[in-house]
Amino acid sequence: MTVKGTVDGLKKGTLYLQKYKDTLLVSVDSIKLNGTGEFILTDNLESPEVYFIVLDKKETEKIPFFGEKGEILISTKLAKFATSAKITGSKNQELLDKYNEMLKKFNNKQLDLVKEKFDAYKNNDTALISKVKKEENSLIRRKYYYTTNYAVNNADYEVAPYLALTGLYYANIKLLDTINNSLSKKVKKSKYGLELAKFIEDIKSKEK
């Protein structure tokens, strides 16, 4: 995988390409920039997985992206390093972006309900508290079902098991099984496909 890009406004600094190994975030490549914001970073990957671009001056701001074989282009601005990033060249990233757009709507609704519940407790409105709690549970279920359907509809891509692992961590085991059973042979053998199978196996062994 080759990652090419530019950081508009950056004249000097070090960029790191990072990914998780077990539970540790490690650097797999880096480049020192001096006078230009253009960079090239590379890594040999066995299957698509999530990587991060990190700048030494802004270590808390990471640019996450779904890495895969081939060339990926990333352009961003120094002032808004993480939030202004534009990523092309990765089908999994494209699918993840579409999912995140819908997830943002769910999260905004969840924030509205949190505020509504806070006000209800403040006013000791037990009827409204009960109503908001039901709406919260309904929203969580809808988010889980949306994630499941999205993953199943994109079962030929590694983003599917990734969403199961990150978006359905506390969901019913049946939803995880549904996604796992829908995965293509290629995706089942991928990093996240294998992790999902192990995650489900661990849950089932604890339930015995």
- Model-level pTM greater than 0.85? yes
Same domain? For 84 and 123 the reply is no
Same domain? For 100 and 180 the reply is yes
Same domain? For 34 and 104 the reply is no
Q: Which domain holds residue 198?
A: 92-207
Same domain? For 58 and 9 the reply is yes
pLDDT tens for each residue of 7-25: 999 989 999 999 999 889 9
Same domain? For 35 and 138 the reply is no
Same domain? For 111 and 199 the reply is yes
Q: 126-145 burial string, b = 16+ CB within 10 Å, else e?
A: eeebeebeebbeebeeebbe
Same domain? For 154 and 171 the reply is yes
Domain count, the chain: 2
Cα separations in angstroms, 152 against 102, 162, 181: 16, 12, 9
pLDDT tens for each residue of 39-90: 999 999 999 999 999 999 888 899 999 999 999 999 999 999 999 999 999 9
pLDDT tens for each residue of 104-160: 999 999 999 999 999 999 999 999 999 999 999 999 999 999 999 999 999 999 999
- Residue 206 clears pLDDT 90, i.e. is over it: no
DSSP string, the chain: -EEEEEEET--EEEEEEEEEETTEEEEEEEEEEES--EEEEE---SS-EEEEEEETTEEEEEEEEEE-SSEEEEEEESTTTTTT-EEES-HHHHHHHHHHHHHHHHHHHHHHHHHHHHHHHHTT-HHHHHHHHHHHHHHHHHHHHHHHHHHHHTTTSTHHHHHHHHHSTTS-HHHHHHHHHH--HHHHTSHHHHHHHHHHHHHHHHH-
15: CATH: 2.60.40.180
- Residue 189 clears pLDDT 70, i.e. is over it: yes
Same domain? For 67 and 113 the reply is no
Same domain? For 78 and 35 the reply is yes
Same domain? For 82 and 31 the reply is yes
pLDDT at position 208: 67
Q: Which of 89, 109, 127 is the last residue of a domain?
A: 89
Same domain? For 97 and 187 the reply is yes
